[in-house]
Structure 1
């Protein structure tokens, strides 16, 4: 491995394209199994695949010593929150256009800005407050509260996507709190194990847990691989270049999934989604740029 610390933007961009592809494949795979598996079953099988992959990596590296259970309550809070958020995300994926789901998901970092002062003791600067404001304005444009002609199912899907973003934001905050006592492999192991157990328990409430059919099994495998692969790609990219350069590439997920939704599912992209997405992405980009400035900023 190279020992240089010089940024490598082109390689970082390539890793981020891998993350964009993984997130897109995850959404398509979820749609492919929705008629056969419910959200609990999807998460159960996906988590079991994740456990197998992580166990293999830890065994090959002889790194099981990195798996500890310091702060078990925080692990549990993080994993329950993430489990609920993932279920809401898949529910939204099944009920509203893909571009709408991804646009609302991009508000998760903005929820972190709101929650961090209360849970992490981080200050809310003017730039962060403006970023959050732009993001929530974008939500209002996409959701169009009070608009006529929106079905109850669509409203439930939008609500699920918005709540999922809040859950992802809380998950990020819990992860930040855990990084002081646990490494990435430790966090991912307990996440996969606990969510496999929660998924199997919830899936079995109706008296049975569906096994993926021969047609669905490859897509379930894709779900397991892309879930870990996307975050691995992002981690690699952040190790090669600053976040201010890397994370804007993540915004490509939105136009890519919009094109996929149009081509595969004939989902039109309305003006409200375009304008709302632009506001949400602008809020995220402003936050990334502000985080990269060395100069301190006065609190809001």
Structure 2
């Protein structure tokens, strides 16, 4: 998912505090699942808003700027150098900047793709992000995949080819933006995992939108057009709110339930995308899109099952 696939910031400390709450473990998991479903609903609404703005003639780069301007403003109310002086100190500043730029690239490419593609098409392609992470984790993190996992990854990428059908002229060339989004997002996930060993959650959150905002601000004279309708203003501000609240719900969900319990519910975003695309834009996904989506989702669920079994077999420390 565009925003929903965002790797959860380092939430281990908050997750460790979860058992201390006066909530039964089974109830906490149900609450976590509910929060995850709400998260993907927020991210689906964000994508639908971005597509609506693009159809209204708003430059996707202007939408990207507003996404980060609102997000940075909201986060700064709670995490800033005044309330938390140590938040600006990063042990890997270069990696923080690279992560922020990757997040910006992922968002901008997604918004550019939504200008031409259906919501169901973009999210189906973006479901390949976990497969890309699993593939790149070997050379970049030393987490090499087994032969069976590599086969599953290959099958998942075949699902993406079913959706895109290169050379057949069936899908708009903007699908390349979605593929670029997948690559940026996978690298964003990997840099987030690397930073977890060096910086706190607050520091990583503080830097998340800054590079994108700094990059976009000088471009405003060329991309800015003052909206003439209040609905456009509402959507522009709403995109930032949806993204920020969505990531907050994601953290809350992971503080209450393990990642392997929550991960399958990420795929409910496909249902939201199909429904919103149909009711808001009259889009009906093709049978190729749905078939490719099922292949990609199936591969992702297989990788998740393999990871769950691997952890269960791991001896207790």
Task: Return closer, same or farther for 1:5/1:73 CA change in 2, 3 Å cut-off.
Answer: farther
Q: Which residue is equivalent to 2:127?
A: 106
1:212-254 CA-to-partner distances (Å, cap 9, x unmatched) read 4433121112111111222222222122122221111110000
- The answer for the alignment partner of 2:21 in structure 1 is 2
Counterpart CA distance in 1 for 2:80 and 2:179 is: 38
Partners in 2 of 1:225 and 1:180 — Cα distance? Answer: 29
* 2:28 corresponds to 1:28: no
Quote how far apart the aligned CAs of 1:273 are.
Answer: 0.8
Q: 2: CA distance between counterparts of 1:66 and 1:72?
A: 12
1:156 aligned onto 2:173: yes
**Distance (Å, rounded) in 1 between the aligned partners of 2:85 and 2:67:** 21
In structure 2, relative to structure 1, the CA distance for the partners of 1:209 and 1:68 (3 Å cut) is: same
Verify the 8 A CA contact 1:44 1:197 in the aligned structure 2. no
Q: In 1, distance between residues paired with 2:80 and 2:204? A: 16
Structure 1 position 188 matched with structure 2 position 209: no
In structure 1, distance between residues paired with 2:146 and 2:255? 26
Q: Deviations over 1:104-147 (max 9, x none)?
A: 11111111111111111112123431331121011111111232
For this pair of structures, how many residues does the alignment match? 290
| 2:87–2:206 Cα contact (<8 Å) kept | no
- Are 1:215 and 2:231 matched, yes or no? yes
User: Is 1:14 the equivalent of 2:19?
Assistant: no
2:287 counterpart of 1:262: no
Matches within 5 A, 1:1-300: 2=21, 6-7=25-26, 8-34=28-54, 35-58=56-79, 62-148=83-169, 150=170, 154-204=171-221, 206=222, 209-213=224-228, 214-293=230-309, 294-295=312-313
| Segments ≥4 residues shifted beyond 6 Å | none
Structure 2 spans left out of the alignment, 5+ residues: 1-19
Whole-angstrom CA distance in 2 between matches of 1:285 and 1:241:
17
Task: Return closer, same or farther for 1:231/1:267 CA change in 2, 3 Å cut-off.
Answer: same
Matches of 1:138 and 1:203 in 2, distance apart? 38
TM-score (structure 2 length as normaliser): 0.85
Partner secondary structure for residue 173 of structure 2 = helix
Contact 1:27 1:93 in 2 (8 A): yes
Which stretches in structure 1 are left out of the alignment for 5+ residues?
A: none
